[in-house]
Amino acid sequence: MNAFPRLDAATRQKFIDADAALVGKPLNPAENCVPALQANARHMALMLLDDPSPARAREVAAFAESLIDASLAAAVTEPIACAKGCGHCCVTYVSCTFPEIFRLAEGVRGRADAEARVRDASARAQSIPQVYREVNRVICPILVDSACSAYAHRPVVCRAVLSLSLPKCLAIFRDGLRVDFAHATGTEAIRGYAVIMLRAALIVAGLPHQNYEMTHALDIALRDETAEARWLAGEPVFAGVAVDRADIADSHFYQLAEALASVVRQTI
């Protein structure tokens, strides 16, 4: 964990009280979301720093996931092409933060068939460099009968992939054509906000905050029930898991998360 000067309890509580109107409430990308980003990132950072729960990484991920679900439900008004039984996009490269991995593992653990598929997919994913993953597909091991079998535990990025066009999805994911994904309006912004807030909280808490290849990380988390506790204690539980190549220090997400973290750090 990072050591940095904390506010006294009374001053910190003033921020917490002021945040109450914004924490967990849907984000509206048509409005100025900066106060909500700070409030929700502060909330998650305090969970990680001060909550003694051994499941606090999962709890932070669950909070971010419920926030993105509420925000998407409020913001998306166009007819969505996605439906249960349509899993075309679940063949693409997926990366996420480690709290999301622990949460996904919670939805998979104990299902021997799924755990075996994760092991196989992890081995395959490790053998294919990320730049070749779009031509050497690794079908997500959580996908069963073209539906997500851990739907309530799926990562933030999976929740925000809402398409307006099945033909475009087929062109991209089935036919391998260079076509722009038909994002529903506002979904990219909401996903960005959720990711930046979660990552800012992790930065403030002194924990790894980047996005990592999902299947390899999930495989490791499933093999060790103490993984979350060890990770929270600073152990290199996921050593060897590849960072998403798009997640570099000069990327937009990276810099915004760092900027949000620097603001939040001064208010807790």
> Rounded to the nearest whole angstrom, what is the least distance from the CB of residue 223 to ligand SF4 in the complex?
18
Q: Which residues of 89-125 are buried (b: 16+ CB within 10 A; e: fewer)?
A: bbbbbbbbbbbbbbbbbbbbeebeebbebbbebbebb
What's the distance, Cα to Cα, between the start and end of the chain in Å? 14
**260: its two tokens:** 């949000």
Q: How many residues bind ligand SF4 (CB under 6 A)?
A: 9
Determine phi and psi for 148, rounding to 5 degrees.
Answer: -70, 120
Q: Determine, following the binding rule CB under 6 A, whether residue 143 of this chain makes contact with ligand SF4.
A: yes
- 101 belongs to the binding site for ligand SF4 (CB under 6 A): no
Least distance to ligand SF4, CB of residue 8, Å: 42
Contacting range for ligand SF4; rule: CB under 6 A; set: 38-46, 61-69, 138-146, 220-228: 138-146
What is the amino acid identity at position 232? L
Which residue stretch of 59-67, 110-118, 121-129, 137-145 sits at the interface with ligand SF4 (rule: CB under 6 A)? Answer: 137-145
Residue with Cβ nearer ligand SF4 (105 or 158): 158
Q: Is there binding between residue 125 and ligand SF4 (CB under 6 A)?
A: no
Q: Using the rule CB under 6 A, is 36 a contact of ligand SF4?
A: no
CB of 217 to ligand SF4, least distance (A): 12
- 214: closest CA among 106, 111, 94? 94
Per CB under 6 A, does 158 bind ligand SF4?
A: yes
Instruction: State yes or no: residue 154 binds ligand SF4 (CB under 6 A).
Output: yes
Please provide the size of the chain in residues: 268
d(CA 243, CA 129): 11
Between residues 44 and 156, which has the closer beta carbon with respect to ligand SF4?
A: 156
Residue type at position 95: S
Q: Which is nearer to ligand SF4, 107 or 206 (CB)?
A: 107
Binding track over 159-198 against ligand SF4, x by CB under 6 A: ----------------------------------------
Which one of 15-23, 120-128, 136-144, 237-245 is the stretch in contact with ligand SF4 (CB under 6 A)? 136-144
8 Å CB contact between 29 and 186: yes
Footprint on residues 38-97 left by ligand SF4 (CB under 6 A): 87, 90, 94
User: 213: closest CA among 65, 108, 67, 96?
Assistant: 96
Q: Is 148 in the site for ligand SF4 (CB under 6 A)?
A: yes
* Residue that is written with structure tokens 């060890």 in the block: 230
CB 221 within 8 A of CB 142: no
Helical segments of 76-139, H only = 98-108, 112-126
Q: Smallest gap, in angstroms, from Cβ of residue 261 to ligand SF4?
A: 26
Residues found near ligand SF4 in the complex (CB under 6 A): 87, 90, 94, 140, 142-143, 148, 154, 158
